[in-house]
Amino acid sequence: MEPDPREPRPGEIRIDLPAPTDAAIRFIGRIRTPWRERSHCPKNSREAIARGDQALASVEIDPRFADGLRGVEGFSHLWILYWMDRGARDLIMQAPAHLAEPRGVFALRSPARPNPIAMAAARLIEVKATSLLVLGVDCLDGTPLVDVKPYFASTDAIADAVRP
Ligand SMILES: C[S@@+](CC[C@H](N)C(=O)[O-])C[C@H]1O[C@@H](n2cnc3c(N)ncnc32)[C@H](O)[C@@H]1O
């Protein structure tokens, strides 16, 4: 689906993107969620988890990658990486409504970014063949799936991390 570039807000900057380099990213599946409009999506994983059963999502993996799922059922949480296919890619400075000042894209979790990769540490509820029932993703229905990795509390959780 084509991204939907909106008019820049005051303080926002668009850039001319460099020519694409062929990273040969292969989408490995799609994420089925209850949301067809951005405004209906949770803003982040925490909000998705707070919605409970209303936010259950199915990570549908192409059966060609089935063997790659061996062992996932032992993990309580997985990192789900997905491709925000409906975001602008050239907004290097952004002015989100919830911030007082514009901020650079790499200081934001915005879906609009040069490589629109999003991430969520999602709770794994059930594995059914090549479908993972999860809680914690915040994307539109049909969002392409980039990768799945196990979440390790021992190395991924940073108790003293700070944010502005
Ligand atoms: C703020 S982003 C956070 C994404 C991810 N949790 C992260 O931290 O990388 C989540 C928002 O992106 C928007 N969004 C969801 N799916 C999208 C898609 N396929 N393309 C563009 N924007 C999307 C929705 O407005 C949603 O609330």
In a domain, residue 45? The reply is yes
Q: CA 29, CA 40: separation in Å to the nearest integer?
A: 22
The domain that holds 110 is classified in CATH as 2.40.30.70
Q: CA 108, CA 158: separation in Å to the nearest integer?
A: 18
In a domain, residue 93? The reply is yes
Q: What is the pTM of this model?
A: 0.93
Distance 32 CA to ligand 1 centre (A): 14
**Pocket perturbation via mutation, ligand 1, pick of 35, 99, 138, 147 by most ligand atoms within 8 A of CB:** 138
Mean pLDDT by 10 residues, the chain (164 residues): 70 88 91 98 97 98 97 98 96 95 97 97 98 98 98 96 93
Q: CA 51, CA 136: separation in Å to the nearest integer?
A: 9
DSSP for residue 29: E
- When divided into structural domains, the chain yields a total of 1
What pLDDT score does 5 carry? 65
In a domain, residue 31? The reply is yes
In a domain, residue 162? The reply is no
Q: Which domain holds residue 135?
A: 24-153
